Amino acid sequence: MATQAWAMPPDGSRVWRKVGESGLRRDGRKANELRPVEMIRGFTKSAPGSVLIQCGDTHVLCTASWQVGVPEWKKGKGSGWVTAEYDMLPGATRERRARSRTRIDGRTQEIQRLIGRCMRSVVDFKLLGENTIQIDCDVLQADGGTRTASVTGAYVALCDAVRVAQREKWVTRSPIVDSIAAVSVGMVGGRVLLDLDYAEDSTASVDMNVAMIGSGGLVEVQGTAESGTYSRGELDRMLRLALRGIGQLTQVQQRALRQRRRG
């Protein structure tokens, strides 16, 4: 049986309000509500850490693999490394996306660097020893927020990989020092919205991605005005809403990690 965890509406139900009610979005959410979030741990058998994260219609498979050794520039320093790769399957979007066979495009490179930075922000490299954890995030289905879903799911996969490392005596203590999650926020039609789907993201006047660790430190704030500008007050509103959403995602991560994983 797969391990699952849900982020539910405030009333605790899985039934979302009907589209068309006053102030609600296309999928029936309020401006400050996340899409339903499900995490299935142990989704594949081979990798020490494997999580399928579903944020609405965005589905990302996140795996964490353990590798003995570190990059050449870190050898002999007694500390480890965490790195990440990201890609989208050809059928993840409506129009087929060509595989990245020989060249990584700029967007893919940007996103995998973001994921790597986020994972490294919660790992003590000395406790990891001269070992590397490779994070892989593969988008199976895309409907906005793939990078933030990748960060949120990758953290859970990282935790599972470290649990395996402790069980196998590859490390004596967990090198994970905090949690991390990420979410998108933006301005659409003059409204500040949390966790944009593709339809919202494609029409947003401001698009922002925020990553934060559990103790409150910000790792990444990527905010861009797609048309015109935005004010300091609007920035503050978006940040407040993003931090609230990240708090909810952190609870989903913790709930998933408390449950027994498959396999």
The whole-angstrom separation of Cα 119 and Cα 122 is: 6
pLDDT score at 12? 41
- How far apart CA 150 and CA 116 sit, in angstroms, is 10
Of 188, 181, 185, 187, nearest to 158 by C-alpha is: 181
> Does 18 reside within a domain?
yes
Kindly state whether residue 126 falls inside one of the protein's structural domains.
yes
Give the CB-side neighbour count of residue 222, counting CA atoms within 13 A: 16
Quote the pTM value. Answer: 0.88
Question: pLDDT tens track of the chain, all 263 residues?
Answer: 344 544 444 344 444 343 333 478 988 999 999 999 999 999 999 999 999 999 999 999 999 999 999 899 989 999 999 999 999 887 787 778 777 766 777 888 999 999 999 999 999 999 999 999 999 999 999 999 999 999 999 999 999 999 999 999 999 999 999 999 999 999 999 999 999 999 999 999 999 999 999 999 999 999 999 888 899 999 999 999 999 999 999 999 999 999 877 65
- How much of the chain exceeds pLDDT 70, in percent? 89
Per-residue confidence (pLDDT) for residue 146, from 0 to 100? 95
**Residue 158 domain-assigned (yes or no):** yes
Provide the domain limits for residue 83. 6-176+247-258
| Measured torsion, CA atoms of residues 107, 248, 47, 110, in degrees rounded to the nearest 10 | 10
Number of domains in the chain: 1
Quick check: is 116 in a domain? yes
Q: Quote the distance between the C-alpha of residue 88 and its chain's center.
A: 14
The distance from CA 208 to its chain's CA centroid, rounded to whole angstroms, is: 14
Distance, in Å, from the CA atom of 55 to the CA atom of 57, rounded to the nearest integer, reads 6
Name which of 255, 183, 246, 212 is nearest 121 in CA terms. Answer: 212
Q: Which residues pair with 138 in a beta bridge?
A: 61, 87
155, containing H or E segment: helix 146-167
Residue that the structure tokens 């995490």 belong to: 39
